[in-house]
Amino acid sequence: MGVGDKKWEPHQLGRPRGNAGKQGDKLLKGAALLGAAAVISKLLGTLQKIPLQNVAGDVAFGIYNAVYPLYILILFAATAGFPVAVSKFVAERVMAGDHAGAKRIVIVSSALLMSAGLLLFVLLYYGAETIAGWIGIQQTVTAIRSISFALLLSPVLAVLRGYFQGYQNMVPTAVSQVIEQLIRVITMVALLLYLVALAYDEAWIAAGATFGSVTGAGAGLGVMVVYWQRERRLRDVEADLPTDKERQDGNGQEVEQGARKAIAAGLEVKEEISSWQWAKKITLYAIPVCLGAIVVPLLTLVDTFTMPRLLKAAMGSELAAMRQFGLYNRGLPLVQLVVMVASSMSAVLVPAIAAAKLSGQVDLIRSRAEMSVRLAWLIGLGASFGLAFLAMPINLMLYTSTEASWTMAVLAFTALFSTLNAVSASVLQGAGAIRTPAKALLVAIVLKSLGNVMLMPRWGIDGAALSAVIAYAAAAGLNLVQLRRSTGVRFALRPYAVSPALGVGLMGGALAALQGLAMLAGAAWHVPERWSASAIAIFGVAGGAAVYALALLRSGSISREEMRLMPELDRKLASVLAKLRLTKREQ
């Protein structure tokens, strides 16, 4: 068999045999797998906070929420861009048939990030008292030191994820993400119960909760090492197979198939470069990605460095300040859930927007962008009003008391603007406007900082909640303005205001009636207050969502075209909706 007739094995290019269509299918499946893993991980991470507050109380809950955003910011700053950089350069080496070079990139990147992680660990561990002074709460010292150990493990985990993504193998990353989060939650709950049983104070309990990030990172790294070892054994088997040189053609010409494939792909076959040059290339590529990634954690970190200090100044006590900070954070997990669900439902259109841009279909870009934003608006609006209407029973169901229910109701509206911000940012990126979302979030950071300083002395945590709504609304507004300029999309009054207002009004009336009936039934049958609140919350969420959705369908805010974006739901409801004439016909 000649060189031109030689068949390539799947491992040699890190992708399956076949045409570009099969390669595209693999990429789509990998993206879907990573998306599913991200949703599961975020769900676990969001819900883990509820048992912490229930068992340890609002003080420990407040300390945890003051420290964890700091760790996320440092972690993102140190590692966020490196999986992307590693995957890029590994993919190039793989296309050139240089698997040894791909592993060398991993070694160089690991050494680089382990050094950075060690440095950051030292700064965080030994500088914990100084950082706690910046926060304004000395009780955060133990939790800061506890979470600092994760920085010794997370950098290598990030590098290995980038390596497998460079081979377009998303399974190791997805599995490690879920295992990491699962072990983190198990550790947090176990240490929480143990430390509470031994009557440790809130500072140690919060430190136990943050230590879950260390064991989680260790578990995720363990998973990646297992995949790495298995992949290395496969390479050893491949090494025993005949080489390209041994398969030379009849004229004795020696042709490296990897180089031939690289040339066919339009890649430059580069000379070997030193480890120092690789380190420089990887770092320079990763830094811009890191800078973009830390914008969102910075917005969260604003509260860490402003709220505890302002609350302590107003209340004169660290414990009281941390308790209020814990009360403020009660509503955030619910908001994060809404944003996660709404973003995943709307983001299905983003790749379609990028494809339409590449093909120059301006009208298609406009229609898909408008559809994405409208879905985000409708979902976020309904969820925000629903959470606001049900703030008191949800608060009692999840957190055992109704304290700070008004704060939770105000924070509920960050769900609307956070969803709009996330979806509009994704659409802008699909349309090629990649800088606007980062600029919008920087504006939000400034507004949140100023809002906390100006509003909290007067209204306390309610003022902080209001400043969050203002900040996210500003970011979403800036994105939408740029989206209109970039795509020419228009936002008509009826589908964005009139019909949703009708839906919100009907939902509010239904929820008010439900709560009234539940209160009467609870008083008549002597139902425990938390049980009654739980029933109201559960049936209220389901019933309110149904009323709101039916109102939108009946008024024509959602068409059959949008229903088909969710095939499973459309297939199950199509016949029912057609009989009830609840969806607008396609134009």
Rounded (5°) CA angle 580-582-587 = 130
Q: Average pLDDT for residues 280-306, to the nearest whole number?
A: 79
Q: Average pLDDT for residues 13-26, to the nearest whole number?
A: 46
pLDDT at 215 over 90: yes
Residues of the chain with pLDDT > 90, as a percent, come to 35
pLDDT at 35 over 90: no
Are 319 and 59 in contact by the 8 Å Cβ rule? The answer is yes
Its pTM stands at: 0.77
Each residue's pLDDT tens digit, 113-136: 899 899 999 999 999 999 999 999
Q: Average pLDDT for residues 217-230, to the nearest whole number?
A: 91
Residue spans of alpha helices (H) in 198-331: 202-210, 212-239, 257-264, 275-293, 295-315, 318-328
pLDDT at 514 over 80: yes
CA distance 471 to 463: 12
pLDDT at 16 over 70: no
Which of 35-39, 273-277, 502-506, 535-539 is least confident?
A: 35-39
For residue 524, the model assigns a pLDDT of 76
- Sequence-separated (6 or more) residues with CB below 8 Å from residue 523: none
For residue 10, the model assigns a pLDDT of 36
Residue with tokens 């045999």: 17
Q: What is the mean pLDDT of the chain?
A: 80
Q: What is the CA radius of gyration of the chain?
A: 27
For residue 44, the model assigns a pLDDT of 76
Each residue's pLDDT tens digit, 427-466: 887 677 777 888 898 999 999 999 999 999 999 999 999 9
Q: Average pLDDT for residues 222-240, to the nearest whole number?
A: 77
Q: Average pLDDT for residues 87-115, to the nearest whole number?
A: 82
Reduced to 3 states (helix: H, G, I; strand: E, B; else coil), residue 225 is helix
pLDDT at 69 over 70: yes
Confidence grade of residue 566 (pLDDT, cut at 50, 70, 90): low
pLDDT at 508 over 90: yes
- Sequence-separated (6 or more) residues with CB below 8 Å from residue 376: 342, 343, 346, 419, 420, 422, 423, 424
Per-domain residue ranges of the chain? 18-239+273-293, 329-491, 510-580
For residue 431, the model assigns a pLDDT of 72
Reduced to 3 states (helix: H, G, I; strand: E, B; else coil), residue 527 is coil
- Sequence-separated (6 or more) residues with CB below 8 Å from residue 425: 436, 437, 440, 479
Confidence grade of residue 265 (pLDDT, cut at 50, 70, 90): very low
The type of residue at 521 is A
Q: Average pLDDT for residues 212-218, to the nearest whole number?
A: 93
Confidence grade of residue 86 (pLDDT, cut at 50, 70, 90): confident
Q: Average pLDDT for residues 563-583, to the nearest whole number?
A: 58
For residue 34, the model assigns a pLDDT of 62
For residue 268, the model assigns a pLDDT of 44
pLDDT at 345 over 70: no
Which of 4-18, 391-405, 406-420 is least confident?
A: 4-18
